[in-house]
Chains A and B, each alone.
Chain A
Amino acid sequence: MSCEKYSDWMTHAAFGDLPAEREPELLAHAMECAACREALAHARAVHDCVDRGIESLVAGEPSPQFATHLRRRIAQESGPLRSPWMTWAPVTACALALAAVLAIAITHKRVHDRSSPSVASAVNPISAPPGAVPASVASPRNAERTARTRDFKRSAQTRAATTTRPEIIVPRGQLAAALHLSAAINSGRVDGSQLLAARENSEKPLDVKLIEIAPLDSLAPADAAERPE
């Protein structure tokens, strides 16, 4: 039993890792036990061989040409050692240039949009605020009107959720008028079908009928007597 206990100690002792307080005990046991004495000697021999074997594997110096060859290769490197900022400088420059081009393009587009009078706004009369009553206008006098507008908004939103309506392109300046018209149609104050019917009537082609004129010879004698002499 005690020999098993010292087996692990022997390994540590051979590697020089055995705690100092255990060493005397191990040595005392080795003095008494021939097998353990032999095992300890063998473990030390193996350890010695291992260490010396590994040392011999890594022993040696690079050849005298090593340094010369290394310096030549370093000299052949494309450039000298570069500071980090020099490495990133071209990348940063490219990124800045790209950002500048994008900014110019966006600004130019905005200016073009504002200056163009023919540009139309896409407005959905249902989803847009009908009448566009601003908060400042909502005075007590207009309370009834505001309430009506709110109701209309709700019903319009409900209708928009259930029905699909085409978007109407309204030129700038005519937005308010278009919204008023849309609100009037949706509230029933104006009959949209009549408006369309009137437009259809106005666009109908004229029915031209030829007038038949009788020749002079076929006039009745009574008519001839009436002619002035």
Chain B
Amino acid sequence: MDALAASFPGSAVSRDESLAREFEQRLADCPKLAYRVALGVLHNTAEAEDVAQEAMLRAYRNFHRLRDRERFRGWLVRMAFRLALDRIRAKGRRERHEHDATRALEDNQHEGNVEDLVASREFERQVAQALDALPEKRRIVMVLAAIEGYNTAEVAKLAGLPEGTVKSRLFLARKKLAESLQCLVKNTPTG
């Protein structure tokens, strides 16, 4: 594509068309990634779609500024994460979440197996609350690690961080989540 653009030096139209085509190629899989990142922060499908749309539009507007096109996915992920956080701040959803979760915290210890527990709405709410309580730096690596089972190296590439940093942040995030959720898992047989 760049070769095509380079064959018409000085032609703005061909350059723009080339960029548009290059962006078009990314429309196949990247919106899904942006959507999932936003969903991991917002826990609401409609809002996650809005944020993913906004992130893709911004990516489209600023695509020409991206020098290394290989970093597009990481760029998009960080943009979607930031937009999702901004939306949460704007709406004050965190307080609502905390209120809802606190209400159900004490009397919702599951006696069934792990499958039932994970499937329950209450558990989902508890996980969301624990995830929201994480610092932003740890939250993004936790969300990315959960998307399609990305390994540490892939998360590091997407988050634009060294692999060691991702490892330590993931460990701390998981530990914190486990501490927050272990009361729910008490007396729950595995399998």
Contacts and interface: CB of A to CB of B under 8 A. Distances in A.
- The secondary-structure label for the interface of chain B is helix
Interface residues of A, number: 42
A151 B43 CA distance: 90
A46 B181 contact: yes
A14 to B, nearest CB: 7
- The secondary-structure label for the interface of chain A is helix
B124 interface: yes
Interface residues of B, number: 56
A135 interface: no
A8 to B, nearest CB: 10
Interface in B1-23: 12, 15-17, 19-20, 23
Interface in A38-85: 41-63, 66-67, 69-71, 73-74, 77, 80-84
Contacts of A80: 16-17, 19-20
A173 to B, nearest CB: 58
30 contacts: A11-B178, A14-B178, A15-B171, A42-B182, A46-B178, A46-B182, A50-B174, A50-B177, A53-B118, A54-B127, A54-B131, A54-B143, A54-B177, A57-B40, A57-B128, A58-B143, A58-B147, A61-B32, A62-B52, A63-B45, A66-B49, A67-B27, A71-B27, A74-B56, A74-B57, A74-B60, A80-B19, A82-B12, A83-B64, A86-B12
B103 interface: no
Interface string B16-49: 1101100100010001100111011001010011
